[in-house]
Amino acid sequence: MVATGTLLTFVVAALASLFMAWAIGAGSSGSTPFAAAVGANAISVMRAGFVVGLLGFAGAVLQGANVTEAVGTGLIDGVSLTATAAIVGLLTAAVLVAVGVFTGYPIATAFTVTGAVVGVGLALGGDPAWAKYRQIAALWVLTPFAGGGVAYATARILRSPSVPERYAIAPLGGLVGALVATVEFTLLGPAGEGGSVADALGPAVPGGAPAVTLGCALLVTAVLFRGLVTHPEATQRRFLLVLGGLVAFSAGGSQVGLAIGPLVPLLDTVSVPLPAVLAGGGLGLLLGSWTGAPRMIKALAQDYSSLGPRRSIAALIPSFAIAQTAVAFGIPVSFNEIVVSAIIGSGYAAGGSGVSRRKMAYTVLAWIGSLLLAFAVGFGAFTAIDAVVV
């Protein structure tokens, strides 16, 4: 039987986690996926917040385990986070993200959570997990160059008058279809592991998983090509909304781990299964998206760049690919960094029109500052609390 004190402490930690999930839903995962679509007038701000909440919940349940376990057990070596450490880390990060939501600046959630968890973990007496830090740093540093560069190149192709839209957009859709076929979902794999559509259908198809992947790519390409011939504008908007949905789903799979990861070391002591905690974190993301995301969606869609459908498509394709890479490898990543970098890249394809350099500079400083501040506050707050308790 679980002791009353232990259960009460876990409930407090879970409430802090729920607050963190709300802050993430209202800020990073709730705003960035459909910001480009809203900027292209493909969907309204309020409808985008509603849809992204539902898709984020689904992503949290079906893809959230990898990043959740990485945040909970992979950022610090030698010790496991205690309930007090989890509470301090989560509240530190959540307050910083909430400040970003209400001031209109997209604070990078992964920066704040990583900084806070590492801070409280070192204060607890743990050792730095250098191997994991190198993975995280590599993705964080490469994301602006990879996402922005791919978005820039894609936007240039889509804007080229020498390349008809059906010959440019349809193959890009095929690439997205191939990626979707290889994305892993919890329900499609054996117990404790994920599995992709290609893996699930492969045994029943000649050629196996590669044939399924190729078939998905060709099918999506053909459907898009036909639509772009008959109804080009409507097909563009639908493709853009599908891309936004895929990014929103991926956001749920990644960002839920930032909210509930610190709870992982506590689950065995209270006999709570991880899927139930993932569902709770997904609910927090959904509530955040419905109640707080519209403000940030407007900030990203209108303040950062004035996007048309082509540049929006160019921004969302690399965003989806990078997000799924992070989910697959269990690396906490900021969706603000991913999508904002892609939006800038696609914006510069049109000569930088509508891109606010001043806003970008402040945003980058906010990202770096949030990492350092979260680390310092997490370390200091836990050290002070531990000294008082002892």
DSSP per position, 26-82: HTHHHHSTTHHHHHTTSS-HHHHHHHHHHHHHHHHHHH-HHHHHHHHHSSEES----
3-class secondary-structure state, position 9: helix
Q: Which of 42, 111, 8, 127 is nearest to 316 (CA)?
A: 42
- CA torsion 388-269-375-92 (nearest 10°) is -80
Q: Which of 4-8, 152-156, 175-179 has the lowest mean pLDDT?
A: 4-8
- The whole-model pTM stands at 0.85
Q: Which residues pair with 185 in a beta bridge?
A: 195
For residue range 347-380, list pLDDT tens digits in order.
Answer: 787 665 555 667 777 777 877 888 898 999 999 9
For residue range 271-304, list pLDDT tens digits in order.
Answer: 788 888 999 999 998 888 888 777 667 666 655 4
Nearest-angstrom CA–CA distance, 62 and 312: 26
In 3-state terms, the chain is what percent helix, strand and coil (to 5)? Answer: 80, 0, 15
10 Å CB burial of residue 214 (0-12, 13-18, 19+) is middle
Query: What is the CA angle 221-43-322, rounded to 5?
Result: 55
For residue range 196-225, list pLDDT tens digits in order.
Answer: 899 889 888 888 899 999 999 999 999 999
3-class secondary-structure state, position 184: strand
